């Protein structure tokens, strides 16, 4: 086992945290989270820490530990996922690698103990009991409705994909070596207890996962025990390791993670191509040729001054532009995020109620699940590059494929290939769409379009995708 030691610092502890009287959901487990809105969900998740305090003092800066000692919170957390749930889940057809990893930290390295093919519960339990292996369950929100509800609301709150993994570790064992991640991490302790050690980042706000050797990380900056109902947050890049203490039969926690590849650098990579294309229409300097044989040269240092000058011109044009486009990041988020949680037994969303007419009053539905982008026309790529308005939404996304990758072979294997759902309009529809998005209600006849036929067409198109309701 790695050497122990350290102090508790910069960590908020809260005992006997007061919670609102819980309601009982359909499964009979007490809910201590508020699902009224994305904001209320996040506030109840980090309670009693305030939202403003969290983002001022902790977000991307340092860890936060909330120790609650509250039986209602502990009971609710335990209902999210338990060791006893594995037997039933295995019967649904889980596979090693895709759904479950079995591993153990041995001499500072991760040892993977996966078998081939489909997971057999008896074999899984045998590895857990006899080999002291950790069971890592990938993306449990695909199977657990309460986690679906939580993560869908958090995706609305952050505007970023939110994944999760469950870790079940037997006593006296550790699943993973010291490492850091490229995501913001929220850990909910569900069953048993887990001994945690956190260390100063070697790469603050890291952009990739990495294992760190014990001799490089030094002494822990934080050391504590998580118990059921406790919450831990730490920023990406925070080096960490955790083990289940002796005397505790096993520990179960869920790691909820977000903000992977969601930095200003990522946004610039996404936005600059469109910015350059637009600026080049107006600025002849961006349309002049690069030097002869530049692409054949090994050393291109001579062109850095020219590039610096062009970037400054680009920055000046950015200050004068009305909008900054981010089509690919927006589409990636909306295409891969969770659909609204309407319940496992709910029918797929279909248009309902009255058809929108010219004299109808309409209201946008599922605002957090739809985006508007302006892009080159995808259906006429060979013609003159003209821009169109696209409305993408996640109402028809598949919960079963959430955060499971986008490889074609994986998707086609289960017949669950992802696709982008949405609508395509002429650029002249943009103002009318913004009108609908920015208003609580709007009359169809007052939409910023030339003809009544266009107004009805826009309303009907949105209605068929369940994006508006007629009042």
**pLDDT of 413 strictly over 50:** no
**pLDDT of 400 strictly over 90:** yes
Tell me what percent of the residues of the chain surpass a pLDDT of 90.
69
DSSP 338: P
**pLDDT of 223 strictly over 50:** yes
Query: Which of 139-148, 156-165, 337-346, 423-432 is predicted least confidently?
Result: 337-346
Q: Which CATH number fits domain 38-258: 3.40.50.1970, 2.60.120.650, 2.40.10.10, 1.10.10.10?
A: 2.60.120.650
Mean pLDDT of the chain: 87
Q: What is the pLDDT of residues 26-64, one digit of tens each?
A: 334 557 999 999 999 999 999 999 999 999 999 999 999
Across 245-282, b (16+ Cβ under 10 Å) vs e yields eeebebbbbbbbbbbbbbeeebeeebbbebbeebbeee
Among 122-136, 321-335, 392-406, the range of highest mean pLDDT: 122-136
* 439-447: long-range pairs with CB below 8 Å, 24+: 439/364, 440/363, 441/361, 441/362, 441/363, 441/471, 442/361, 442/362, 442/363, 443/359, 443/360, 443/361, 443/362, 444/356, 444/357, 444/358, 444/359, 444/360, 444/361, 444/362, 445/358, 445/359
In Å, how far from its chain's centre is CA 26? 26
Q: Measuring CA to CA, which residue among 379, 393, 374 is closest to residue 464?
A: 393
**pLDDT of 324 strictly over 60:** yes
Q: What is the pLDDT of residues 274-292, one digit of tens each?
A: 888 888 888 898 899 988 8
Q: Which residues pair with 184 in a beta bridge?
A: 258
pLDDT of 23 reads: 31
Helix (H, G, I), strand (E, B) or coil at 2: coil
Average pLDDT (199-204) is 95
SS3 annotation, 76-123: HHHHHCCHHHHHHHHCCCCEECCCEEEEEEECCEEEECCCCCECCHHH
Average pLDDT (342-369) is 85
Average pLDDT (361-383) is 84
Among 5-9, 233-237, 268-272, 378-382, the range of highest mean pLDDT: 233-237
pTM: 0.87
Helix (H, G, I), strand (E, B) or coil at 429: helix
Average pLDDT (255-276) is 92
Task: Name the class of domain 327-399+418-470.
Answer: alpha beta
**pLDDT of 353 strictly over 90:** no
17's CB contacts (< 8 A; 6+ apart) are 47, 48, 66, 68, 69, 70, 73
pLDDT of 411 reads: 44
pLDDT of 408 reads: 44
User: What is the total residue count of the chain?
Assistant: 471
pLDDT classification of 328: cutoffs 50, 70, 90: confident
Domain residue limits, the chain: 38-258, 264-291+303-312, 327-399+418-470
Strands 134-138 and 162-170 come out as antiparallel
């Amino acid at each position: 086992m790695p050497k122990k030691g350290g102090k508790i610092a910069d960590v908020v502890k809260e005992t006997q945290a007061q919670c609102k009287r819980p309601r009982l959901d359909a499964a009979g487990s007490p809910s201590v989270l508020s699902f009224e809105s994305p904001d209320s969900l996040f506030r109840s998740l980090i309670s009693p820490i305030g939202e403003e305090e969290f983002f001022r003092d902790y977000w991307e800066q340092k860890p936060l530990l909330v120790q609650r000692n509250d039986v209602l919170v502990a009971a609710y957390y335990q209902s999210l996922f338990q060791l006893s749930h594995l037997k039933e889940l295995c019967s649904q057809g889980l596979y090693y690698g895709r759904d479950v990893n079995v591993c153990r930290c041995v001499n500072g390295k991760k040892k993977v103990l996966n078998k081939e093919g489909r997971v057999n519960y008896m074999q899984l339990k045998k590895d857990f009991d006899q080999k002291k292996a950790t069971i890592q369950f990938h993306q449990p929100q695909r199977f657990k409705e309460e986690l679906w509800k939580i993560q869908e609301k958090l995706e609305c709150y952050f505007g970023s994909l939110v994944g999760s993994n469950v870790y079940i570790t037997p006593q006296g064992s550790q699943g993973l070596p010291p490492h850091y991640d490229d995501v913001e991490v929220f850990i909910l302790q569900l069953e048993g207890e887990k001994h945690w050690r956190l260390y100063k980042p070697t790469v603050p706000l890291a952009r990739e996962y990495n294992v760190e050797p014990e001799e490089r990380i030094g002494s822990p900056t934080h050391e504590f025990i998580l118990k059921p109902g406790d919450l831990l947050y730490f920023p990406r890049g925070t080096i960490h390791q955790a083990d289940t203490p002796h005397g505790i039969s096993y520990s179960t926690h869920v790691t909820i993670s977000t903000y992977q590849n969601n930095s200003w650098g990522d946004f610039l990579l996404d936005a600059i191509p469109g910015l350059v294309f637009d600026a080049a229409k107006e600025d002849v300097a961006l349309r002049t040729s690069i030097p002869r044989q530049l692409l054949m040269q090994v050393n291109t240092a001579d062109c850095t001054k020219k590039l610096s000058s062009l970037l400054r011109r680009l920055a000046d044009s950015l200050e004068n532009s009305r909008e900054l486009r981010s089509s690919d990041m927006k589409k990636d988020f909306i295409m891969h995020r969770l659909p609204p949680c309407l319940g496992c037994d709910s029918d797929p969303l279909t248009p309902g109620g009255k058809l929108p007419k010219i004299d109808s009053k309409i209201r946008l539905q599922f605002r957090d699940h739809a985006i508007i982008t302006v892009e080159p026309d995808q259906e006429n790529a060979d013609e003159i590059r003209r821009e169109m308005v696209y409305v993408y939404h996640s109402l028809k996304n598949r919960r079963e494929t959430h955060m499971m990758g986008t490889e074609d072979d994986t998707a086609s294997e289960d017949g669950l290939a992802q696709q982008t759902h949405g609508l395509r309009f002429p650029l002249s529809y943009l103002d009318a769409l913004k009108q609908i998005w920015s208003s609580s209600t709007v009359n169809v006849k007052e939409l910023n379009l030339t003809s009544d036929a266009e107004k009805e067409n826009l309303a009907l198109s949105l209605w068929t995708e369940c994006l508006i309701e007629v009042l």
